[in-house]
Amino acid sequence: MKTYTLSANNVEVPLWEEGFARVMGLDEVGRGCLAGPVVAAGVIFNPNNIPEGIYDSKKLSARKRATLAEEIKIAAAFWSVQHCEPEEIDKLNILWASMRAMEKCVQAEGADPDYLLVDGNRYLPTLTPHQCLVKGDSRCVSIAAASILAKEHRDAYMKRLDEVYPEFNWVKNVGYPTRDHYEALIKHGYTPQHRQSFKLRTKKVYLFT
């Protein structure tokens, strides 16, 4: 598996060399889900203290991702995990809610980033210098670290919700539009954790809210 090592190919390196001391990588997870929050994470590394093996969270095993998440939290100069709940997603739409969740990381107490590296191709207007990177979680160690923290946090969150709404099998599908999720929606209706602005294939409301 590809691992990150400091070299001229790391997006952060020229930024550090230019004097940016608090480069924050930003990523989010859960945009395509039918239920649960969209979760973002922001990570700022000291260039001399970056765990080995960090890569796109989707390419890592669950065990490796969990181990790296703890290593990232210990090594990072700063990290934050934030989210937007379904109600906010329905109000803003999923794109703006995703960017809003990332902005919450930027504005978190103690963050004070001087440059932002954002996964994707869009970000909110900001006075902080920033760069958007398509597939940034496979090109940038700070963004990859953020993707790991965001996914670990969101998966754990959805597994806790599964204890309240076991019919939807969130312990496995974590809110994504799987066959079993749609079948549960048709049978039971939607819950307060579902995004009503999404195509849920049901108008029935879950009775046990």
Query: Which CATH number covers residue 23?
Result: 3.30.420.10
Residue 100 belongs to some domain of the structure? yes
Say if residue 78's pLDDT is above 80. yes
Residue 42 belongs to some domain of the structure? yes
Residue 196 belongs to some domain of the structure? no
Asked whether the beta carbons of 94 and 38 are under 8 A apart, the reply is yes
Residue 40 belongs to some domain of the structure? yes
Residue 181 belongs to some domain of the structure? no
- Domain total of the chain: 1
Give residue 125's pLDDT.
Answer: 83
Residue span of the structural domain in which 33 resides: 12-162
Amino acid found at 11: V
Q: In the predicted model, what is the mean pLDDT of residues 44-54? A: 92
pLDDT tens digits for range 130-144: 999 998 888 899 999
Residue 132 belongs to some domain of the structure? yes
Looking at beta carbons, which pairs linking 157-162 to residues 24 or more positions away fall under 8 Å?
Answer: 157/36, 157/37, 157/39, 157/83, 158/35, 158/36, 161/35, 161/36, 161/193
